[in-house]
A and B are shown apart, each in its own frame.
Chain A
């Protein structure tokens, strides 16, 4: 096995064993730190030693029984769901337009849609804060959803555009020539076939909003404090083990969403 050729240039597996070890270590570096939080969250101690001196679910109880954490969680999920709905519909609509339109306008519009990704987050944050101060939108759910929608739009547009690229638009044209209106043809012919991209885009929009920190730090608060803002403040002050419990739950959610998106990808590939 070790003496077998690894590549076309006939280097053997044995001669580049170090490379496999290196890759293994890098993967461990990528994945392990986050996963280590899970056993820590079941510790019964305030001090986060590993392995924990004893096991308990007290940090989970603390999380569930704290109305502050609970409220923040509800706000974050609500914002993420609304952002997902708004960003996915606006982004899919825009991707359709960008895909069909020709000429310079389409290129400029495409770059404009990437802006929220290009402009540094801190700048968007203070800008939105300034803008919302004029309209009384700071510390409101509407404000958070609108800002998060803008942040999610580039990802949605890129993802759905890639779906359009592997779809034959003539099918929609056929439907229209047979009498379907444009929206009807899109909904019944095109959308079912690009649904994988649209679902991936929706998941990305959801996670973008749920994980967003920097803008929320400025514009969320009061009754509409997001989970991320509360976590950030807690982390800056002290390392509260309750966050280990919340983190473990968030990791569980990430794994589920990642699996979902991989599943969708595979369905497309297969």
Chain B
């Protein structure tokens, strides 16, 4: 008798618990949905201004007056475009390599100086990011022009006879781009180096490694995630870069992005421009995706 009553009460309790759990889950879903909705206005704006036009460009890249076509993509095989693709990659690789060489020492020293000195160095690295891109391009134009500061000083010092041609060409573009990209290499490198436990270096020294060996065999491998993140950021930014090559290249450095601009502004050729744009976006996403698989996407963007 008592047994049956207990069972009945228990069953009632369980079904009440079940109902409660159901209600709780529903409430949680509703709650989740309502907070997620807060992201909606921002998402809608991004959808309208970034995603819709890109979809449209994608559509146009396959269309001509007759309908579906691949002619815009076939045209990308012309020497003008393949050459400019080559220039884009050469410049991006070169700038990335120089950035690695310049960023590593400064990030390394930043992890070893006192707190105040590190703060000073960090501010100096951040300063270019906060300075207008055009101001920095202008500075390089002034410095590198034929009768510019660099040439005048080198001539006065008797190091050169003729002014060097370092502006409006590949060299000038490279210098300007390195200047723009360097902070984006230093910051992830520094973040990753700062997280390295110094005990590893002590242990290496303790086990008889010379400072140089400890550096190459212990420190460098541990800093690789930051280095990869920096490489990806810099390389991807270089691929689509427009302003600096357009100003410092003086028309002699034809980047992929400049071909896009030309096709729109001079020829109003949306087929070619959109095909070029689709290829640029595909390259960018492929690199991000590939490396994201390798080291984790969040590491690159520094998100959660």
Partner-B contacts on A (CB < 8 A): 6-11, 15, 19-20, 22-23, 26-27, 29-31, 33-34, 36-37, 40, 47-50, 90-91, 93-94, 96-98, 100-103, 105-106, 109-124, 126-131, 146-147, 149-150, 153, 157-158, 161, 165, 207, 210-211, 213-214, 217-218, 228, 231-232, 235-236, 239, 243-244, 247, 250-251, 254-255, 257-258, 261-262
Closest chain B CB from A240 CB (angstroms): 10
Taking each of A23, A102, A218, A239, which has the highest tally of chain B beta carbons within 10 Å of its own beta carbon?
A23
- Complex contact A130–B39 (CB within 8 A): no
Which of chain A's residues have a CB closer than 8 A to the CB of B280?
A: 120, 122-123
Closest chain A CB from B209 CB (angstroms): 7
Which of chain B's residues have a CB closer than 8 A to the CB of A207?
A: 130
Which of chain A's residues have a CB closer than 8 A to the CB of B148?
A: 48
- Complex contact B36–A120 (CB within 8 A): no
| Binary contact track B44-76/A, C-beta < 8 Å → 1, others 0 | 011111111110110000000000000000000
Which of chain B's residues have a CB closer than 8 A to the CB of A98?
A: 36, 39
Which of chain B's residues have a CB closer than 8 A to the CB of A110?
A: 303-304
A30 touches which of B147, B183, B240 (Cβ 8 Å):
B183
- Complex contact B32–A101 (CB within 8 A): yes
- Complex contact A262–B123 (CB within 8 A): yes
A20 to B110, CA, bound (A): 11
- Complex contact A211–B134 (CB within 8 A): yes
Closest chain A CB from B137 CB (angstroms): 7
Which of chain B's residues have a CB closer than 8 A to the CB of A146?
A: 45, 49
- Complex contact A130–B53 (CB within 8 A): yes
A8 touches which of B141, B142, B198, B242 (Cβ 8 Å):
B198
Interface of B is mostly: helix
A134 to B205, CA, bound (A): 67
B240 touches which of A50, A105, A123 (Cβ 8 Å):
A123
Q: Identify 4 new A-B residue pairs, CB closer than 8 A, beyond the known A10-B205, A244-B138.
A: A118-B284, A122-B240, A231-B134, A258-B130
